[in-house]
Amino acid sequence: TTENNDGLFQETKTIRKSKKKKPDIIILNTCSIRDHAEQKVYSYLGPHAKRKRDGEDVTIVVAGCVAQQEGQSLLRRVPEIDLVMGPQYANRIGDLLEDVANGNQVVATEASHIMEDSTKPRRQSSVCAWVNVIYGC
């Protein structure tokens, strides 16, 4: 999913990485199988939520299986989150971020059929790659 998101962002020129500037979009791509996954997500969210409370223009996204499991409760605990997105929405992140840009706080965790993923992943290696076998845990 991370490679697919990188490819999508590169394709739409949504993200430009700069070492001099803090990112405008933070995506926590989560996995609920890991030990203490939910607690780690809340811990990682802390500094980014503080940036937002301090007036920085930052978009906070929680994606993946923890987002799917926690859903609306993530927003209740960390209201600075802009988008909560289950793994079945990974290839729709561009549309969801557009909703966020229009001032909406979005929770996309409803069961849905996975649409064909036409994004071109941005590979870090020329000899290996992540391949989706299933979506979610």
Share of the chain above pLDDT 90, in %: 45
The mean pLDDT value for 64-77 works out to: 93
- How far is residue 29's CA from residue 18's CA, in Å, rounded to a whole number? 20
Task: Please give the sequence-ordered ranges of beta strands (E in DSSP) within the chain, or none if there are none.
Answer: 25-30, 59-64, 83-85, 106-108
Cα 29 to Cα 4: distance, rounded to the nearest angstrom: 12
Are 81 and 75 in contact, with CB atoms under 8 Å apart? yes
Higher per-residue confidence, 2 vs 54: 54
Residue 83 — very low, low, confident or very high, per pLDDT cuts 50/70/90?
Answer: very high
**pLDDT tens digits for range 84-118:** 999 888 888 889 999 999 999 999 998 766 555 55
State how far Cα 114 lies from the chain centre.
Answer: 17
Whole-model pTM over 0.85: no
Instruction: Supply the pLDDT for residue 117.
Output: 56
